[in-house]
Amino acid sequence: MSLNKNNILFYFLIYVSISVCAQEGRKEEKDSILTENLDEVVVTATRTIRQLSSLPLPVTLIGKEQLQQTGVTRLDQILNEQTGIIMTPDATIGGGEGVQIQGIASDYVLILIDGVPVVGRSSGNLDLSRFAIGNIKQIEIVKGPSSSLFGSEALGGVINIITEKPTSENISGQVSHRAATFNDQNTNLSLNQRFDKIGYSVFADRLSTDGFDLAPSDEGQTVNPFYNYTFNGRFFADITENLDVFVSGRYFFQEFDVQPSTSEEKDANVLLRINHDASKKTNLQYEFYYTNYTTDEQVIDPIDDQLLIANDFDQKLFRPEIRFNHSFNPNNTLTIGAGYNFENLNRSLFSETITFNSQYVFAQYDFKPLEKLNIIAGARFDNHSEYNSQLSPKISAKYDVTSNFSIKGSVGSGFKAPDFRQLYLDFTNAAGGGYSVFGKEVEATGIQRLQENDEIATLQVDPSQLGQSLDAESSIGYNLGFTYKKGALSSEVNFFRNDFENLIDTRILAAKTNGQNVFGYINRESVYTQGAEIDIKYTISKNLNLSAGYQLLYAFDKEKEEAFENGDVFGRNQETLETVRLQREDYFGLENRSRHTLNFKAFYEIPEWDINANLRVVYRSRFGLADRNGNNLLDELDNSFVDGYALVNLAFGKTFLEHYSLQLGVNNLLDFKGTNPLAAQDSEVLINPGIQLFTRLNIQF
Amino acid sequence: MKNLIKLSSLLLFFIAFVSCSDDDENTTAEFTVTAISAESGAVGTEITITGTNFPSNTSDINLTFGGANATITSVTSTQIVTTVPSGATTGSVTVVVDGVTKNVTTDFTVLSDLVSARAENIFAPQTGGQGTQEEASGPFTKFSFATGAVTDSDTEWDIAFRGLTIIVNGGTTTGTNDEPERNGNSGAAIEEGIFSEITDTSGIEFAQDANGELAIPTGSNNGWYNYNFMTTTVTPIPGKILIFRTHDGKFAKIEILSYYKDAPSDITQEVAENDFRYYTFNYVYNPNEGETSLAN
């Protein structure tokens, strides 16, 4: 592996130097595709710079102003206020939160920082509160599958966090401190400076909290006290007029206070990007990215100091990538890219360190066959060492019917590689009753081992099926949208449908002699999510902006729908306890999906007083957490529904003496707490910790 | 041939007699009885007798099942619909019209009624097992469908419970501690559906206990129940109907309603921790030898 890495590095360097030599002396004239001359531009949708309103895809952009005025400091807080995006609590009590886009769970949403992927998912979920948003220029969210550009995991959407670039020769930056309920203390510092040829940017952030408890009668807290640090240093250099270099290093460290146990998390990433304008029309980007995510978790019995569980996780990814952009003219751009993923994971629940290798190529052509028609067509091929290769095509188009009204549509496919856990987990839960879980690659040997120890009572699957390789989970996403803009009003309606195939589910492989089961993984489920999103923005005056969003969502499992049609779904009458046959209308759909979600935002400014205020409301309708009557689906007879609720957030800001701004705010003004229906009788478990106040002082310099 | 001639002449004579003696509308030919829709049935079972020339008025017909008068629901010239009357005994079914008596050729067997009942709080204690360091042990609670109760009999039991495990009195030892000797021919099958919709056992294949393998498998989502780790509750899987062949070859079906004492509709933490291993189930038992019907 290291040999390969060196080779590729070597060739890249040779190639870079040749290109640099060849292009020497070329006169400055910035390439059209990389010129940022418009206010709202995004890079995630096409991997080239594109004006937001011109894109044929559903894209949400959260700008710096919104980030600042709302007073939020972590990524999860701001995403929840966007149309079609909600943060959902984990179904199990005390779990984390996951982002859901168009009804698609967080496992299928790719998170990027400056275009490179973040790794480190504990059981599929990526904790978004890990990401401080102090030095962020904007957050871009592309909904629907984008695997044609980004590969695995980009099924439901891509969230790209774009950091700020220094622009001024004077040192600029800010220091801020935010204090909030639960002794939440968040301090950050950022510094930026830009000279003629070089620039740098430094960011440091510290967050600590006492955490909170949603289940007061249970031992321990839902969120334990923790502190974390984020450091980010970036360096920009224009080597020549046509060649610039960007280097970024980010380090995140978090430790939970769970004495005498320990729980630590580290996330480090390094990015080197060389951008070379080989000609007026041609641009090349060379990217080297390394990331390492580790957790170190030890659960120690507080009484006898015995180590109960040690769960270490150490994931590394190294990824060189090259991209080539060529503009035949300002409206026709070809993008070609190739890369190599070297990935490995060492986890205490795996028998050995696992290595994945994958190679990929992608191409995209962005063109305008007619003056009013823009088409973007692309495809990506991923070749993987552990599962079947994937081809992910995508096509999208936008047609401007009038200057105010356009139609846009896209069809694309996405995939998610089976994760390490689904392939290599070898786990027997001694504390939880002795059940076992095996990843696909180790299930045959695992079962054999248990059989030799006489632990298997009955095998529930055909032995020849053991170890048959898993396919990647895949989806096809359809989006059809209409945008209308006139004067102060801009509105957008988007209809979506996402069909998922081959979702990986657990199944029982065998019954053990201790009465427990052995679980394995299998490609089984086919689900779909469909619905519509409506977004309306209205600028009442220069100082008052209103926006509202709504999402209608239907998310169901196709096989279960079929079982309903066949009359094969049963429930239990809650009074008589007798079995009743359930009808299709009793099927609520996938867990944790709300049929209706709404948001409303009002941002108000009084420039003469240097005051701003905003009100944001998010609502989600009733949703269910889990099957409780044993038929393996969520139906109206399951006692696991959370009633619809609204969260109201308010923030006020005032700037003094130009540089000092003070913010006061309330999140969850109505003090909504809710009750978790899965809580055991006589002990209440909350959905939300309730009202949270904050104040923030920011010094800009 | 001789008989035929005799019969024909008798018929001729009869016709002549009838036509002479009766000059009004009652000129129908003598009735015949050709078939009965079932040769057995319990009291209340609907029975159709087919034949020819039945009178159109139900009051003109006297129908008995083993001597007990049956009420006629409806009649056409070819069909009498009735139900097996209470007090009926196994024997001949007789139709009398105008003093002429005809028997259905085969005897009718009156069956015992199906037993449809609920067994409540069948306590199935167990020592050791899941969550403990010891193997599961302790005597099984044996149940007899014939008596509808728990039994101590070593032979007259059909199924038995211990904790979440259900065994049948048929097959071989499975290897668990303290299991009773299997000396009957019990078997079990799990069917999907609504309890009342499973009306017959014909075509169902029955399994018996074997070494390391139970006819009703244990484990969450394997057999009759789901176990929820979060709430530590056992829920019978809806739509799982257990069909049994009893130790003496009769049939029964059960639907387990609850694993908790007094079958509460809401299983609280306290109930989940203290009042478990109490089976409540609905069952239908057919006490008639060889009868597969479980329609209740």
Considering CB atoms only, which of B130, B255, B270 is closest to A579?
A: B255
Question: Considering only CB atoms, which chain A residues are within 8 Å of B231?
Answer: 678, 680
CB contact under 8 A, B222 and A457: no
Please, how many CA atoms are within 13 Å of residue A363, restricted to the half-sphere of its CB?
Answer: 3
Q: Is pLDDT larger for residue A548 or for residue A71? A: A548
Q: Is pLDDT larger for residue A264 or for residue A35? A: A264
Report residue B4's pLDDT band, with 50, 70 and 90 as the boundaries. Answer: low
Average pLDDT, chain A: 87
Q: Is B131 found in the same domain as B261?
A: yes
Query: Does B280 have pLDDT greater than 60?
Result: yes
Task: Kindly report whether the global pTM for this prediction surpasses the value 0.95.
Answer: no
Under a CB-based contact definition with an 8 Å cutoff, are residues A157 and A109 in contact? yes
The reported pLDDT for the residue numbered A211 is 86
H or E stretch including A445? helix A443-452
Residue of B nearest to A637 (CA): B238
B128 touches chain A (CB under 8 A): no
A95 touches chain B (CB under 8 A): no
CB contact under 8 A, A575 and B265: yes
pLDDT tens digit sequence for A597-621: 999 999 999 999 999 999 999 999 9
B130 touches chain A (CB under 8 A): yes
| Neighbouring residues of B201: CB distance < 8 A, sequence distance ≥ 6 | B243, B245, B251, B253, B292, B294
Q: Is B207 found in the same domain as B172?
A: yes
Q: Is B251 found in the same domain as B147?
A: yes
A21 touches chain B (CB under 8 A): no
In 3-state terms, chain A is what percent helix, strand and coil (to 5)?
Answer: 10, 55, 35
Query: Does A39 have pLDDT greater than 70?
Result: no
H or E stretch including A559? helix A558-565
Q: Is B264 found in the same domain as B123?
A: yes
The reported pLDDT for the residue numbered A177 is 95
Report residue B24's pLDDT band, with 50, 70 and 90 as the boundaries. Answer: very low
Query: Does A438 have pLDDT greater than 80?
Result: yes
pLDDT tens digit sequence for A454-491: 888 778 888 888 888 888 999 999 999 999 999 899 99
* B5 domain residue, yes or no: no
Query: Does A34 have pLDDT greater than 50?
Result: no
Question: Considering only CB atoms, which chain A residues are within 8 Å of B223?
Answer: none
The reported pLDDT for the residue numbered A402 is 93
**Domain end call among B111, B144, B163:** B111
Q: Is B242 found in the same domain as B179?
A: yes
**Identity of the residue numbered B90:** T
The reported pLDDT for the residue numbered B159 is 96
Mean pLDDT of the A200-219 span: 88
In 3-state terms, chain B is what percent helix, strand and coil (to 5)?
Answer: 10, 40, 50
Under a CB-based contact definition with an 8 Å cutoff, are residues A172 and A417 in contact? no
pLDDT tens digit sequence for B100-110: 899 888 889 99
Question: Considering only CB atoms, which chain A residues are within 8 Å of B280?
Answer: 577
The reported pLDDT for the residue numbered A511 is 79
* B172 domain residue, yes or no: yes
Above pLDDT 90, what percent of chain A? 53
The reported pLDDT for the residue numbered A638 is 86
CB contact under 8 A, A683 and B269: yes
B147 touches chain A (CB under 8 A): no
Query: Does B138 have pLDDT greater than 90?
Result: yes
Report residue A252's pLDDT band, with 50, 70 and 90 as the boundaries. Answer: very high
Report residue A228's pLDDT band, with 50, 70 and 90 as the boundaries. Answer: very high
Report residue B121's pLDDT band, with 50, 70 and 90 as the boundaries. Answer: very high
CB contact under 8 A, B217 and A569: no
B196 touches chain A (CB under 8 A): no
Mean pLDDT of the A186-207 span: 94
The reported pLDDT for the residue numbered B246 is 95
Report residue A77's pLDDT band, with 50, 70 and 90 as the boundaries. Answer: confident
CB contact under 8 A, B269 and A511: no
Under a CB-based contact definition with an 8 Å cutoff, are residues B269 and A610 in contact? no
CB contact under 8 A, A511 and B219: yes
Coil/strand/helix, residue A681: coil
Q: Is B164 found in the same domain as B98?
A: no
Mean pLDDT of the A404-408 span: 94
Counting the structural domains of chain B, the total is: 2
Query: Does A524 have pLDDT greater than 90?
Result: no
The reported pLDDT for the residue numbered A12 is 46
* B60 domain residue, yes or no: yes
Mean pLDDT of the B3-22 span: 56
The reported pLDDT for the residue numbered A331 is 87
Distance in angstroms between the alpha carbons of the first and the last residue of chain A: 47
Q: Is pLDDT larger for residue B15 or for residue A67? A: A67
Phi, psi of A4 (to 5 degrees): -55, -45
What is the sign, positive or negative, of the torsion defined by CA atoms of A551, A598, A158, A641?
negative
Considering CB atoms only, which of B131, B265, B280 is closest to A574?
A: B265
* B13 domain residue, yes or no: no
Question: Considering only CB atoms, which chain B residues are within 8 Å of A432?
Answer: 229
What are the structure tokens assigned to A463, written together? 């032995």
Mean pLDDT of the A280-287 span: 94
| Least-confidence region, from A172-181, A260-269, A542-551, B228-237 | B228-237
The reported pLDDT for the residue numbered A35 is 34
- Among A509, A313, A523, which residue's Cα sits nearest to residue A420? A313
The reported pLDDT for the residue numbered A207 is 94
Interface mutation target, options A570, A579, A676, A684, chain B, most CBs of B under 10 Å: A579
Considering CB atoms only, which of B193, B222, B238 is closest to A629?
A: B238
CB contact under 8 A, A579 and B258: no
Report residue A122's pLDDT band, with 50, 70 and 90 as the boundaries. Answer: low
Coil/strand/helix, residue A9: helix
Q: What distance in Å separates residue A567's CA from the closest CA in chain B?
A: 9
Highest mean pLDDT among A294-303, A414-423, A497-506, B152-161 belongs to B152-161
pLDDT tens digit sequence for B188-213: 999 999 999 999 999 999 999 998 78
CB contact under 8 A, B212 and A458: yes
* B6 domain residue, yes or no: no
CB contact under 8 A, B194 and A579: yes
Structural domain containing residue B207: 115-286
Phi, psi of A630 (to 5 degrees): 80, 10
What are the structure tokens assigned to B53, written together? 């020339």
* B176 domain residue, yes or no: yes
CB contact under 8 A, A578 and B192: no
Query: Does B256 have pLDDT greater than 60?
Result: yes
* B7 domain residue, yes or no: no
Q: Is B126 found in the same domain as B234?
A: yes
Q: What distance in Å separates residue B101's CA from the closest CA in chain A?
A: 49
Mean pLDDT of the B223-248 span: 88
- Among A388, A355, A325, which residue's Cα sits nearest to residue A48? A325
Phi, psi of A446 (to 5 degrees): -65, -45
Q: Which residues 217-236 on chain B approach chain A with CB closer than 8 angstroms?
A: 217-222, 225-226, 228-231, 235-236
Query: Does B214 have pLDDT greater than 70?
Result: yes
Interface mutation target, options B177, B231, B266, chain A, most CBs of A under 10 Å: B231
DSSP code per residue over A238-274: EEETTEEEEEEEEEEEEEEEETTEEEEEEEEEEEEEE
> Angle at the Cα of A630 (from A633 to A525), degrees rounded to 5?
35
CB contact under 8 A, B239 and A460: no
CATH number at residue B64: 2.60.40.10
| Neighbouring residues of A60: CB distance < 8 A, sequence distance ≥ 6 | A82, A83, A84, A85, A140, A141, A143
Q: Which residues 200-219 on chain B approach chain A with CB closer than 8 angstroms?
A: 212-213, 217-219
Phi, psi of A683 (to 5 degrees): -135, 125
The reported pLDDT for the residue numbered A102 is 92
Under a CB-based contact definition with an 8 Å cutoff, are residues A147 and A380 in contact? yes
Mean pLDDT of the A31-46 span: 60
What are the structure tokens assigned to A642, written together? 């959370």
Question: Considering only CB atoms, which chain A residues are within 8 Å of B256?
Answer: none
* B292 domain residue, yes or no: no
State the alpha helices, DSSP H only, in chain B.
2-21, 269-274
The reported pLDDT for the residue numbered A29 is 38
Considering CB atoms only, which of A516, A577, A678 is closest to B257?
A: A577
Under a CB-based contact definition with an 8 Å cutoff, are residues A524 and A505 in contact? yes
Query: Does A17 have pLDDT greater than 50?
Result: no
Q: Is pLDDT larger for residue A507 or for residue A395? A: A395
Average pLDDT, chain B: 87
Query: Does A31 have pLDDT greater than 80?
Result: no
**Domain end call among B111, B130, B147:** B111
Report residue A23's pLDDT band, with 50, 70 and 90 as the boundaries. Answer: very low
The reported pLDDT for the residue numbered A433 is 65
Question: Considering only CB atoms, which chain A residues are within 8 Å of B210?
Answer: none
Q: Is B71 found in the same domain as B140?
A: no
A460 touches chain B (CB under 8 A): yes
Residue A499 to residue B15: CA distance in whole angstroms: 80
Q: Is B274 found in the same domain as B184?
A: yes
Residue A27 to residue A29: CA distance in whole angstroms: 6
Considering CB atoms only, which of A512, A516, A578 is closest to B255?
A: A578
Compute CA distances A461 → A34, A49, A331, A522, B213, whole Å: 56, 52, 56, 11, 15
What are the structure tokens assigned to A572, written together? 């239990």
CB contact under 8 A, B192 and A568: yes
Query: Does A95 have pLDDT greater than 70?
Result: no
Q: Is B141 found in the same domain as B63?
A: no
pLDDT tens digit sequence for A663-699: 999 999 999 988 888 776 667 778 888 999 999 999 9
Query: Does B27 have pLDDT greater than 60?
Result: no
Q: What distance in Å separates residue A357's CA from the closest CA in chain B?
A: 37
Above pLDDT 70, what percent of chain A? 92
**Domain end call among B92, B111, B130:** B111
The reported pLDDT for the residue numbered A301 is 81
Question: Considering only CB atoms, which chain A residues are within 8 Å of B255?
Answer: 578-579
Q: What distance in Å separates residue A434's CA from the closest CA in chain B?
A: 8
B34 touches chain A (CB under 8 A): no
The reported pLDDT for the residue numbered A87 is 86
Q: Is B161 found in the same domain as B279?
A: yes
Length of chain A: 701
What are A531-534's contacts with CB under 8 Å, separation 24+?
A531/A102, A531/A103, A531/A495, A531/A496, A532/A493, A532/A494, A532/A495, A532/A496, A533/A58, A533/A83, A533/A84, A533/A102, A533/A143, A533/A492, A533/A493, A533/A494, A533/A496, A534/A83, A534/A491, A534/A492, A534/A493, A534/A494
Q: Is B279 found in the same domain as B162?
A: yes
What is the sign, positive or negative, of the torsion defined by CA atoms of B198, B201, B204, B206?
positive
Residue A474 to residue A571: CA distance in whole angstroms: 31
Q: Is pLDDT larger for residue A625 or for residue A219? A: A625
Coil/strand/helix, residue B50: strand
